[in-house]
Chain A
Amino acid sequence: MSEVTRAAALAEVVRLAAVLGVEPAEVAYLEDLDPGTVRSLCERTIDVLHDSGAEGFRRIATAARVIPAPLAASVAERALGPVSCALIAGAVDSGKAVDIARRLRPEFLAAVAVHADPRRIGELIGGLPQERIVRAAVVLVEEGHHVTVARLAASLHLTVVHAVVDEIGDPDILRTAFFLDDAAHLDGIAAGLADERLVGIVRAARDAELWMEGVALVARLSDAQRGRVGALVDVHEPSLRGELAARGLHL
């Protein structure tokens, strides 16, 4: 198994462990499986948990409908907790869900995001105020939940993604980009970055010793963006071209 594949498998194992409520070490044997298999296993587990708790989620979602959003937000934080909220979110009317979610503390919103299924809350995420998303994303990155940020980024407009990028450091951009599924989305993000920022992110592969993440990022860019990286590297960090080539990436 290559280093990239093992890193991807580990990330999926960490996510599945969170869904199961156990430490990743307890299911470390899953790291030997294909990352896609572990991801499918995680999604299947989430589906099963949703199905088994559907009646309970429906009742709580109904209760959320009969109380004002500020009170529902208080109930979410004080009574339900982030794990239950993550599972219930998809059952609440989207407009009410957004109205509740925008009142949650960023730290709580981030904790919900860790346990939430991106497939079920895309509309909710997209409806949140940008400032709220950015603050929650910063919390997630600070706590090391790069996989979560990457998965949720797919539901965000590029303007919001760039607002998040503006608030986090270059090494964390590399760590998060590693888990972005959609290469076209990744390319769109890169295209919207200023030259100085793009160079800085690539430079972080060396400075933060995140070569795997850096190579993976550049390798997935379009020819146009990869060419742009090459031109910028030649001007600002000429030695990087050779260092990337030594690791299999030719700009």
Chain B
Amino acid sequence: MAGKKDQLSALRVELGDLPPGLDGLTAEQAAHLATLVRAAKERQAERLAEGAAATLSVVPRPLRGPVRRALGV
């Protein structure tokens, strides 16, 4: 199993610079956090895509063209 420093590196991949004080995390906890951050990013991307599509269904037809262009869809 990778050492603690490697697992904090996995968290650093997701978050970039880490705040001080995370050395108290175990390797498993750091890896778990990295997984949660990655999942949050993925969910956000899905939510934005769904939100863009739903927006077009809410906007009245005359405005859909400008909105579609703004959304880039």
Q: Which residues of A contact B (CB under 8 A)?
A: 19-22, 26-27, 29, 32-34, 36-37, 40-41, 44-45, 48-49, 52-53, 56-57, 59-60, 62-63, 65-67, 71, 74-75, 78-81, 83-84, 87
Distance in Å: Cβ of A54 to nearest Cβ of chain B: 11
Q: Find residues 24-45 in chain B having any chain A CB closer than 8 Å to their own CB.
A: 24-26, 29, 32-33, 36-37, 39-41, 43-45
Task: Determine which of A34, A49, A66, A83 lies in contact with B67 in the assembled complex, contact meaning CB atoms within 8 Å.
Answer: A66
> For B72, what are the chain A residues with a Cβ–Cβ distance below 8 Å?
59
Q: Cβ of A66 and Cβ of B66 under 8 Å apart?
A: yes
> For B49, what are the chain A residues with a Cβ–Cβ distance below 8 Å?
56
> How far apart sit A166 and B18, CA to CA, in the bound complex (Å)?
40
> For A48, what are the chain B residues with a Cβ–Cβ distance below 8 Å?
14-16, 37, 41
- Of all chain A residues, the one with the shortest Cβ separation from B37 is A45
- Of all chain B residues, the one with the shortest Cβ separation from A34 is B21
Q: Cβ of B29 and Cβ of A81 under 8 Å apart?
A: no
- Of all chain B residues, the one with the shortest Cβ separation from A77 is B58
Q: Cβ of A33 and Cβ of B54 under 8 Å apart?
A: no
Q: Cβ of B22 and Cβ of A41 under 8 Å apart?
A: yes
> How far apart sit A65 and B38, CA to CA, in the bound complex (Å)?
31
Q: Is the interface of A mostly helix, strand, loop or mixed?
A: helix
> How far apart sit A37 and B41, CA to CA, in the bound complex (Å)?
21
- Of all chain B residues, the one with the shortest Cβ separation from A51 is B16
Distance in Å: Cβ of A196 to nearest Cβ of chain B: 43
Q: Cβ of A32 and Cβ of B24 under 8 Å apart?
A: yes
Distance in Å: Cβ of B24 to nearest Cβ of chain A: 6
Other CB < 8 Å A-B pairs besides A63-B71, A71-B60, A84-B51, 16 of them?
A: A20-B36, A20-B40, A21-B39, A40-B19, A40-B20, A41-B18, A41-B22, A45-B40, A52-B45, A56-B52, A57-B48, A59-B70, A66-B63, A66-B70, A75-B58, A80-B51
Q: Which residues of B contact A (CB under 8 A)?
A: 14-22, 24-26, 29, 32-33, 36-37, 39-41, 43-45, 47-49, 51-52, 54-55, 57-60, 63, 66-67, 70-72
> How far apart sit A21 and B44, CA to CA, in the bound complex (Å)?
10
> How far apart sit A212 and B64, CA to CA, in the bound complex (Å)?
55
> How far apart sit A26 and B45, CA to CA, in the bound complex (Å)?
22
Distance in Å: Cβ of A44 to nearest Cβ of chain B: 5
Task: Determine which of B24, B33, B58 lies in contact with A74 in the assembled complex, contact meaning CB atoms within 8 Å.
Answer: B58
- Of all chain B residues, the one with the shortest Cβ separation from A83 is B47
Q: Cβ of A65 and Cβ of B55 under 8 Å apart?
A: no
Distance in Å: Cβ of B44 to nearest Cβ of chain A: 5
> For B71, what are the chain A residues with a Cβ–Cβ distance below 8 Å?
59-60, 62-63
Task: Determine which of B19, B48, B57 lies in contact with A84 in the assembled complex, contact meaning CB atoms within 8 Å.
Answer: B48
Task: Determine which of B15, B29, B52, B59 lies in contact with A59 in the assembled complex, contact meaning CB atoms within 8 Å.
Answer: B52
> How far apart sit A79 and B59, CA to CA, in the bound complex (Å)?
10
